[in-house]
Structure 1
Amino acid sequence: MKIKKPLALCSVIASLLLLSHTTADYGGRSTRSSILFYTNGRFGLEFDIFTLPIQFDSTPNSGNEFQITDGRSINYNGHFPSMFSSSSILRNNQILTTNKDSPPPIHLIYVSERNGSSTIYLDAVYHGGRDRDRRRSALEVSNRVQVPLVGDQQSNGLISMKDRPSLVGDHLIYASTHENIGAPRMSWTAVYSTHLRTGLTRRLTPNGMTDFSPAVSPSETWTAVASYGDRGWSGEIQELRTDIFIFRTDDGSDRVKVVEQGGWPCWVDDSTLYFHRVSDDGWWSVYRAIFPKSGKISVDSVVTQRVTPPGLHAFTPATSPANKRLIAVATRRPDSEYRHIELFDVASKQFWEVTRPVSPQAHHYNPFLSPDFIRVGYHRCGGQRKGGKDTRLLLENLHSPLPEVSVFRIDGSFPSFSPEGDRIAFLDLQGLNVMNLDGSGRHRVYSGTLFGTAWDPVRKGVIYTSAGPYFAPVGNEVDVISINIDDDKLSHKKLTGGTENNAFPSPSPDGKWLVFRSGRSGYKNLYIMDAVNGEKGGLYRLTDGPWDDTMATWSPDGDWIAFSSDRENPGSGSFALYMIHPNGTGLKKLLDSGSGGRINHPCFSPDGNSIVFTSDYAALSAEPISIPSQMQAFGEIFTIRLDGSGLSRITHNPYEDGTPTWGPVSMRAADVQQAVD
């Protein structure tokens, strides 16, 4: 399609040249600020850990299911430690007495996402006294102790994801993402050991390597991991084709590969472990690895056997040294839409359903067994929430690694701050919403399929967005529109015309121009048009090539436009972060995420010195198959300075974080609940 010529192209270019060299003193200003971002599918996930007694003489029922965790945020990947180990790390005043005829206490170690980061907790739930009767939830039990074991303090204040904990005496073995591996698309996940009495932490995974899902042997001598080694992640979101390594638990020495292609290891004794992989027939299955009784342990000397039959998916196995014939697995059967926990006899090949009779229409994840084989644990959604209240948040305050910057997860995509910093615009499935910083005054100002939001810096109450389908080809009709949300009639104006794919508008600081992406040439390149009258008032092509340039954003001083582009490998889906002057000069690549990697949705900091963006730069944080259903089990929020230095990871989790914005106001560090209708 022929590009429309502006009415006065020379004056447009002159204006852009002038704009790119004004307000040079902006970078010297220092203000507190806030970052908002959206996590796909995160809100509404309220996992709790449950347990059922193992009874083969009766069918499990809801009356026997006990909710252990206390209904705060996401609680997952539990572990039943030995009573001796867990009691030894509790202070004397934390060990409660019970009646001799009361059920034994339940000790649980698990991961909990609360207060903005992941922490590993020990919960001890005691029955007795007025709680001697059977209760279905720890919320109903007054005698409980909850102790945070590992948080930010063990990583020098760096936030991280912490996963699959095991207690070994006074040491906690777990996976963490707090150390940058130093290369794009390499997972930061490694296994660590923390001495709980002193806080001394040591890395057990060799530098430059990635280990997931640690499991400690019954003797506590060995730890097994699903390892990605030193390979870069190539984009798999189901099976990672990790290998299983073992090493000494105390110091990480004597590391050796024992299985090729396997994940989620667990031990039944020090010479036998179970793991999962995709079989040649396409079914996820559990396998057994048997070590030689003598001689060198290696891939060649370890015997592997398929354990679970074809015809169903079985993954994330769990074992107990008290019963070597029975394992617990998560299954996905062809006649069910849900993942359930079952027990499996490896000798007779018989299954016993555990969770489907209790909660047939809920997913159940990652089973674990008590050392005495008395109970099975797992996590699922739909637990009793603390106080019986809906805990869904509109704004969730997260721990920030950046001084003077607040970080929030918002329950809505494409957030943006008003120029005054007093309002937030964001999108939901129904359209465009606006609210005050504290979540009050929320109201919908436009209904329809939209993506992207940007406030006019000069005209009060004007928001730019894209109207049309997401991820559409270049020829699909998507238009840039402006909406006057302060107008009594909520007026809107279409700024682009025709059938081209026009999207992601961002205004210049003086409010005169919009940079946006358009497919009018047959490729998605960047254009600049009049902010008030649209392309009819002036249009200038900024980039030109057989690739996709998209998601552009204008710097606060007007000197730069940052954008994502696949220009180095068009059509590959690999997007890097670029910058260019508004007059088309000075193109430079700021950062890429390696071959096949993505960097998207850049946004400048209010002082113009840094950019926030979303990326798969840190690859995956956990085995994807062990994670609740997500669009993508990757995507984190990062910041970087304009000279390419100071890369900082803001979020650490197994979800897809995206569409960040950076606003000129410091929001109060507190969660905001969803308004109740």
Structure 2
Amino acid sequence: MEESRGSIAFFTSYRPPVPLDIFCCPVPPSSRQSELHLTDGSSYNYNCRPIPPAALKTIIKRLRLAPETIIDDDVDSGQITGLVFVSEREHNLETLHVALRFIANSEVKVFSLADIYGVELFSGARLEDNGCIAGGYEDGSTIDHYLVYVSTKEPVQVRRSPWNIVYKTNLRTGETERLTPLGTFDLSPSVSPSGKKVAVASFQGKRWDGEIKDLKTNIYVMSLENPFLERKRVKENGGWPSWGSENIIFFHRNVGDIWGVFRYNLSTGETIRVTPEAFDAATPAAIDETKVAVATIRQKSEFTDVRTETQYRHIEIFDMNALPQSLRITQNTRAKADHFNPFVMDGGKYIGYHRCKSDLLQHGDDVPRHFLKVQSPHEDVGVFRVSGVFLTFSKDGSKLAFVDNEFKAVWLADSKGLRVVFETNGPDSIFSPVWNQKKDILYVCMGPSFKANETLEIHAIPDVSSAARARREPRLLTKGKFNNAFPFTNPDGTKFVFRSTRDGGDKNYKNLYIMEDAEFGEIGGGNVARLTEGNWIDTQCQWSPNGNLIVFASNRDKPADAPERDHGLDPGYFAVYLTNVTDRSVVRVVRSGYDLSGHVNHPVFSPDGRSIAVMSDLAAVSADPMSLPTFLHSVRPYGDIFTVDIGPDDMEKNKDLGVRACHAQ
């Protein structure tokens, strides 16, 4: 039964190819050597918070690492400190872990929540994020400490709805309860200094509508003990809350085209902008009522820029009593590195953050390429994360090709190892490789990506895995200076389907075409037959394993009164369709929103042709996009993998089918 249906390889946008890890430095830092590494260095680690001593004792006692008297003494003296953070070390999922740092020997031991509380409570394909400690106060009796965090462990049946729910887990007993009300979805929890209240960025009272960077969440505050009864909205249009005191919340917000950090007084209702309007600032971490650490980007950059220091994301501290000046932290440790999501340690004596470990690369080193098996929610389907873009398996599964993040080179992984098989002269020049289903040929799209008004041609690279790199010359297959992309051959490898703007007019509509000669194309005299026709976008097409069907993404059913662009980018309203190669009949297989809004894209057939895997925004977003690294080719920070089972022999039974998640985080 194991992986009997095959495997899905995918690329994660907004995830750097070099691992993230957690560091801190004293305030103020004196030099590069001031920075301290806080984890054991294994895997990707990020979004960290310190664990207060009293809560840490509870965790260590549950782990039974030492007698209680020794634990208490070591924690009270600062010989053992603790952190809670996200790590990808377990099943390559993004889940919460606890690090114990032993000062005497600089040892770091890391435990998953399953290690501490059991797999019955913490298992399965899920995301966990934004862990923080609550409770530990007196209220007639001593209230236990709790871990408050976000999890996507409960699938949501409503289309285009987030899966993010905030929970609390009792650190002593492991008992877990939901803090987010039913039908509501919360992000970025933050606990007040007393441990009694939790602030969240919430979708309550609104729906996610495809927002890309600015989610326009509202800030709600709820009681730790009575979250459903004692919950209220305190601020509209805010995200990433952080408590400066029981009365002060810092948050970030987009105003115009600039992100800023603001200070809100719960008693007076006063809101003050803390950071200047001249540059972006986000993800605040309050030190006290007047001081806050933030991530800044003082100068915007483009993909082709060789960035200067001000174009990197840095951590700075702003003091309400000394504005507009700031204390620059990471500019003094690593001026040319991006730093994310600050957190406060030891009352503000140290500021923590995460960044890429790019300093471990030597000059001229290639960025490592990783193939990571991710826990799948379905035992019959394997799931692999690959640090490459536009992944394509050969028909027998023995070869995997992809392009790098710069869209500059084509990589191949097979029994001979991992290597570059073709490289262009510059970035944004090549993408979407795909195998001929019979021959050792890769088809690639050469030209700028995602620009319909630019010329984009399909080329064939013959003898990809066997010929020497110097002998691989791509062969041009299309002509006419149209935008041609996403080829895929029939099972015999003699023809390929592709999408093109030919016949698309001034608005660059895209339809599907069949190239009758897959080896030499229309340059060699081959004919091109039109498969679909209409004023819409048909794209991302693939031939079925039995040769009878072609699956593709299209916005052909977009309502006439829908906005021309979806949040200023593509037209949106993409669903997935099947067409019969013989009679040209078409059926819509799966859509995103109930009104067809949203995106279902990049469909691919399973090896047996009885399922289709898609990328879709059915699960909306799982994190505040402003907290994430940026991958400039990916215009949307969301998208999860779903599969839909089809009846390949009866088109009419495939209309508007349901899906199941294969990787929804």
What is the TM-score normalised by the length of structure 2? 0.81
Question: Are residue 440 (structure 1) and residue 413 (structure 2) matched?
Answer: no
CA distance in 1, matches of 2:179, 2:320: 32
Matched with 2:604 is: 603
Matched with 2:306 is: none
Moved more, 30-39 or 185-194: 30-39
Matched letter for residue 343 of structure 1: I
Matched with 1:567 is: 556
Matched with 1:525 is: 511
Moved more, 547-556 or 628-637: 628-637
Matched with 1:461 is: 440
Question: Are residue 508 (structure 1) and residue 490 (structure 2) matched?
Answer: yes
CA distance in 1, matches of 2:148, 2:37: 25
CA distance in 2, matches of 1:637, 1:593: 12
Matched with 1:478 is: 457
Matched letter for residue 490 of structure 2: S
Question: 1:112-151 to 2 correspondence within 5 Å?
Answer: 112-114=87-89, 115-128=91-104, 131=105, 141-142=106-107, 144-149=108-113
2:11 is paired with a residue whose SS is: strand
Matched with 1:580 is: 579
Deviation at 1:533, TM superposition (A): 5.4
Deviation at 1:463, TM superposition (A): 3.0
Matched letter for residue 290 of structure 2: R
Alignment size in residue pairs: 596
Taking a change above 3 Å as real, the CA distance of residues 290 and 469 of structure 1, as seen in their structure-2 partners, is: closer
1:360-383 residue CA offsets vs partner (Å, 9 max, x unmatched): 222222111136443222112237
1:488-525 residue CA offsets vs partner (Å, 9 max, x unmatched): 75465444333233221112223343211122212311
Matched with 2:534 is: 545
1:18-71 residue CA offsets vs partner (Å, 9 max, x unmatched): xxxxxxxxxx9993521112234534232211122335xxx5333332110122
Taking a change above 3 Å as real, the CA distance of residues 607 and 616 of structure 1, as seen in their structure-2 partners, is: same
Taking a change above 3 Å as real, the CA distance of residues 156 and 576 of structure 1, as seen in their structure-2 partners, is: farther
Question: 1:229-628 to 2 correspondence within 5 Å?
Answer: 229-253=204-228, 254-279=230-255, 283-292=258-267, 302-320=269-287, 323-334=288-299, 336-349=310-323, 351-370=326-345, 372-382=347-357, 392-428=368-404, 429-436=407-414, 440=417, 442-444=419-421, 449-458=429-438, 460-473=439-452, 476-481=455-460, 483-485=462-464, 486=466, 490=472, 493-522=475-504, 523-530=509-516, 531-532=518-519, 534-535=521-522, 536-569=525-558, 572=565, 573-574=571-572, 575-594=574-593, 596-628=597-629
CA distance in 1, matches of 2:372, 2:380: 17
2:585 is paired with a residue whose SS is: coil
Extract unaligned runs of 5+ from structure 1. 1-27, 132-140, 293-300, 654-677
Matched with 2:57 is: 87
Taking a change above 3 Å as real, the CA distance of residues 258 and 549 of structure 1, as seen in their structure-2 partners, is: same
1:441-489 residue CA offsets vs partner (Å, 9 max, x unmatched): 635157574332333333x323333333322436725235363434675
Matched letter for residue 541 of structure 2: A
Moved more, 470-479 or 543-552: 470-479
Taking a change above 3 Å as real, the CA distance of residues 250 and 606 of structure 1, as seen in their structure-2 partners, is: farther
Question: Are residue 37 (structure 1) and residue 10 (structure 2) matched?
Answer: yes
Deviation at 1:237, TM superposition (A): 2.8
Matched letter for residue 168 of structure 2: S
Deviation at 1:150, TM superposition (A): 5.7
Matched with 2:649 is: none
1:158 is paired with a residue whose SS is: coil
Is the 1:542–1:584 Cα contact (8 Å) retained in structure 2? Answer: no
Is the 1:318–1:369 Cα contact (8 Å) retained in structure 2? Answer: yes
1:107 is paired with a residue whose SS is: strand
Is the 2:113–2:122 Cα contact (8 Å) retained in structure 1? Answer: no
1:605-639 residue CA offsets vs partner (Å, 9 max, x unmatched): 11211111222232221111111223332222222
Deviation at 1:421, TM superposition (A): 2.2
Question: 1:71-86 to 2 correspondence within 5 Å?
Answer: 71-86=41-56
Moved more, 37-46 or 269-278: 37-46
Higher RCO (Cα < 8 Å, 6 or more apart):
1
What is the TM-score normalised by the length of structure 1? 0.80
More strand by share: 1
CA distance in 2, matches of 1:289, 1:176: 27
Taking a change above 3 Å as real, the CA distance of residues 578 and 157 of structure 1, as seen in their structure-2 partners, is: farther
Taking a change above 3 Å as real, the CA distance of residues 479 and 360 of structure 1, as seen in their structure-2 partners, is: closer
Matched letter for residue 578 of structure 1: Y
CA distance in 1, matches of 2:284, 2:418: 48
Moved more, 463-472 or 64-73: 463-472
Deviation at 1:204, TM superposition (A): 1.7
Taking a change above 3 Å as real, the CA distance of residues 173 and 504 of structure 1, as seen in their structure-2 partners, is: same
- Quote the sequence identity (%): 35
Matched letter for residue 437 of structure 2: P
1:67-87 residue CA offsets vs partner (Å, 9 max, x unmatched): 101222321111112111012
CA distance in 2, matches of 1:307, 1:29: 54
Is the 1:154–1:201 Cα contact (8 Å) retained in structure 2? Answer: no
Extract unaligned runs of 5+ from structure 2. 135-143, 300-308, 566-570, 647-653
1:63 is paired with a residue whose SS is: helix
Question: What's the RMSD between the two structures over aligned residues?
Answer: 3.3
